[in-house]
Amino acid sequence: MNYVGLDVHKEYCDATVLNERGEVVKKGKFEYARSGFEEFLEGIDDAKVAMEAGYCWQPAYELLESMGYEVKLAHPLKTRLIADVKIKTDARASEALGQLLMMDWLPTSYVPPKEIRELRKLTRLRTYLVRTRTRFKNKVHAGLIKVGIKGRKGIFAKKRRQLLLELDAEEVSRCLTVIEVLDEQIKELSAEVRRRAGESREAGWLMSIPGVGYFSAIALLAEMGDISRFSDAEKLCNYAGLVPSTNQSGGKSAHGRITKQGSPTMRWLLEECVWAHLRCASNTSLTRFFHRVARRRGVKKAAVATARKMLRVMYQLLKEKREFHP
């Protein structure tokens, strides 16, 4: 058995191959492409591969899987705690990953099944396009103010959009053209997400919570992955980065801001669901909890605390396979 440590970057990879005795068999740098992987790994058939869960992990992970290798995804923060070195280079990082894999000390990250990875791509792309469209809409409002027109609600409706195009404002017209393209793409992605939500029982359970729509339900399910891997709701909140940081020493504990170590998409979705819930549900335990916290800690902290509480509710619904009862 050989052990391969990979340090993956956007354009190249550094790799180190170790044998069972921990001796370096091969070391090198190659292009981040199928041909580069095949050339470097030629003749190394019986091997396990370790790589960090960084920006470019997924294409490399899927490529190595298709080539028949057993791939382990390392947790970046935990790996650095174990294998920190004074001199950090890509070559040394790949060797450290190989050594941890060989000694079975590699702290691994969760790798969702392929269908969940595809669902994440879909929901994250729609989220990105919606946020991009919002930036362009803000640019239109700013452009209108420059020509002496105060923006109002509904200015992006089809009838009013045509009036905006007739204005002598190049900035506004160019932004509206981009918004039209984004609208079309978002519409296509939304139709696919809605179809998947209709086919998912889990999405139906989450959508029973007031304020949780079909997109939020599907996107949150994609970010969570398999709910059975969380032994309790607190583990899920920790995964989302919604638990307060803790510093404990000498019998004293101090709690700070939330850790934010999980998926930023997940936290954003939950906070959006909280605001929607407050608008459409005036007498639920979540709404009452928000107002109690808001009176003591302010609206922003209350929204985060309610997002954490809503995530606990979602955990219970998925575990008990039932709908929400206010």
Dump pLDDT digits (tens) for 203-240: 999 999 999 999 999 999 999 999 999 999 999 999 99
Q: What is the mean pLDDT of residues 268-291?
A: 94
Cα 240 from Cα 117, distance rounded (Å):
17
Q: Which of 72-81, 144-153, 288-297 is the most confident on average?
A: 288-297
Judge whether 2 and 18 are in contact, CB under 8 Å: yes
Residue 66: which residues within 8 A CB-CB, separation 6 or more? none
Three-class SS string for 15-40? EEEECCCCCEEEEEEEECCHHHHHHH
Residue 282: pLDDT band with limits 50, 70, 90: confident
Is the pLDDT at 292 greater than 90? The verdict is yes
Is the pLDDT at 88 greater than 70? The verdict is no
Is the pLDDT at 15 greater than 90? The verdict is yes
Q: What is the mean pLDDT of residues 270-296?
A: 94
Nearest C-alpha neighbor of 6 from the set 80, 65, 60, 63:
60
Is the pLDDT at 323 greater than 80? The verdict is yes
pLDDT the model gives residue 302: 95
Give the least confident one: 71-80, 139-148, 242-251.
242-251
Residue 81: pLDDT band with limits 50, 70, 90: low
Q: What is the mean pLDDT of residues 15-36?
A: 93
At residue 75, the 3 state secondary structure works out as: coil
| CATH number attached to the domain at 2-102 | 3.30.420.40
Written as six digits, the tokens of 215 are 């997109």
Domain borders along the chain are: 2-102, 114-199, 217-320
Residue 98 Cα distances to 47, 88, 101, 137, angstroms: 11, 15, 5, 49
Distance of CA 214 to the CA centre of its chain: 18
Q: What is the pLDDT of residues 100-121, one digit of tens each?
A: 999 988 988 889 999 999 999 9
Handedness of CA 311, 313, 317, 323 (dihedral sign): negative
Is the pLDDT at 158 greater than 90? The verdict is no
Is the pLDDT at 134 greater than 60? The verdict is yes
Residue 93: pLDDT band with limits 50, 70, 90: confident
Judge whether 44 and 17 are in contact, CB under 8 Å: yes
Q: What is the pLDDT of residues 22-32, one digit of tens each?
A: 999 999 999 99
Identify the residue whose tokens are 């979705």: 269
Average pLDDT across the chain, whole number:
89
pLDDT the model gives residue 164: 80
Is the pLDDT at 85 greater than 70? The verdict is no
Question: Which has more pLDDT, 188 or 84?
Answer: 188
Buried b (16+ CB within 10 A) or exposed e, 156-183: beeeeeeebeeeebeebeebbeebeebe
- Indicate the pTM of the whole model: 0.84
